[in-house]
Chains A and B, each alone.
Chain A
Amino acid sequence: MADGARDTAVGAVRLREAALQPFASFAAVLSRELQLAVRRPADVLNPLFFFAVVATLFPLAVSPLPQVLEVIGPGIVWVAALLAALLPLNGLFGQDFDDGTLEHYVMSGQSLVAICFAKTVALWLVAALPLVLVSSLVAETYRLPLQALPVLVLALGVGSFALCALGAVAAALTVGVQRASALIALLVLPLMVPVLIFGTRAVSLAAAGDPVAGPVYLLLAIGLAAALLAPIATALALRISLD
């Protein structure tokens, strides 16, 4: 009680540290995830190959005619990208669970929400962003007009972020479950319906030269809501899964 002033000063430092702590843990986890991705490039490349193969099958299965490809192109790119982005979800927390990292995360005394957000951002950077870039190439071969390309990249970028955020919830819920891939897909894909609807619509509108503001804003709103809320659910799900 005597040195109350000093206590207040120490308290202020603690408070500032506590306020910065989530950012520090976010940065630590993000950089480690990226470091790991560099050491294991297969994690980045396999979804890309998968995407390329799926995109190759459609002209074979449906028709290689330009007028057909033009119609089905945006939809195929979207669906193939969603499916490819599902692939790494099973390993998102699976490896951390197996090697005990997850326990350390939960018991680090740091914000688990910040850690989950870092995992989500890392997943998006490593698995989804390259996919978005490659998909714009594929869309070109499907005769997507050049003017629609920026919209495709933006929409797929936002949409794939929502997928990563929601996928992280599903991955966290199924941590430790054997052969969880199919289950994760079953949980995540129905949740992606609104993103798919607005995303493909935005691309089609852009291809036709119409204004795209409506669906793009809706997509951004969904992406933002997913970014803010999903990590909270992911953190909760992780605690439940370890209990």
Chain B
Amino acid sequence: METPLFSAHELAVFRGERCLIQGLSLDVAAGDIVHLVGPNGCGKTSLMRVFAGLATPERGDVHWRGAPIRSRLPEFHQNLAWLGHAAGLKGDLTLDENIRFDNALRRRATPERMTEVLERLGLANRRDVAARGLSAGQRRRLALARVMLSDAALWLLDEPFTNLDDSGQNLVRELFRDHAAAAGAIVFAAHSAVEIEGRPVRRLAWQGHG
């Protein structure tokens, strides 16, 4: 059997002294889209943070290309795009400056690619606006632009649909489909069901230990 791109083995995740998740395993191959479902407080965000290597699980391991991420954290993170609750934007800087900084730190996209991505997300005419002047939806789009520009194989997205209007949500679904078709993998958390045309979405739910 081929080694999966990303996998979790027998995870136990705690918040403080409380056990949220126990014995969770997951294999994600290239082209997979995985949807973490569950009510508020069931540990979706905690699990996402464990997947991202931000938090350490109480038990179990997360693997990237067959090896524990702890042993190859920089490599794993270079192949990972993360979208958290906070967008990671500086309000005092313009949209362009925000994007450029990210690019300088991770050193990936060309200027042409940047323009292309911003156009696709409908932000091309907002490049010189200070980030604090953007609406919540526009900030979300900017965060998504960053995910695309990272050129990462694995996308870990916490609530990617919040604050987006219908066209924005359609756009996210399109991006998902394209990324999966290009042999990328997506794991995302969202409250409600998500259907993506022409691509199966695996749903992962668990019993909260609340």
Interface residues of A (CB under 8 A from B): 21, 24-25, 27-29, 31-32, 35-36, 39-40, 98-101, 103-104, 106-111, 242-243
Contact = CB atoms under 8 A, between A and B. Distances in A.
A108 B77 contact: yes
B106 A108 contact: yes
Contacts of A100: 84-89
Contact of B90 (A36, A108, A111): A36
A109 B75 contact: yes
12 contacts: A24-B107, A27-B104, A39-B93, A101-B88, A103-B54, A103-B86, A106-B77, A108-B77, A109-B74, A109-B76, A109-B77, A110-B74
B138 to A, nearest CB: 15
Interface residues of B, number: 31
Given A32-B101, A108-B77, A99 B89 contact: yes
A99 B97 CA distance: 16
Interface in B128-180: none
Contacts of B74: 109-111
Contacts, number: 76
B154 to A, nearest CB: 11
A110 B92 contact: no
Given A28-B105, A243-B55, A107 B80 contact: yes
A142 B90 CA distance: 41
- Going nearest first, the 8 A-B pairs with the smallest beta carbon separation are A100-B86, A109-B78, A109-B77, A100-B88, A28-B104, A39-B92, A104-B88, A28-B105
A37 to B, nearest CB: 10
B54 A106 contact: yes
Nearest to B143: A100
A22 to B, nearest CB: 11
Interface in B38-88: 52-56, 73-80, 82, 84-88
A100 B85 CA distance: 8
A92 B84 CA distance: 21
Given A103-B54, A106-B77, 15 more contacts: A24-B105, A28-B104, A28-B105, A29-B105, A99-B88, A99-B90, A101-B89, A103-B86, A104-B82, A106-B54, A108-B105, A108-B106, A109-B76, A242-B55, A243-B55
Contacts of B82: 103-104, 107
A21 to B, nearest CB: 8
Q: Choose among A29, A39, A109 the residue with the greatest number of B CB atoms under 10 Å from its CB.
A: A109
A107 B54 contact: yes
A35 B101 CA distance: 11
Contact of B104 (A24, A98, A106): A24
B84 A103 contact: yes
Contact of A25 (B80, B93, B105): B105
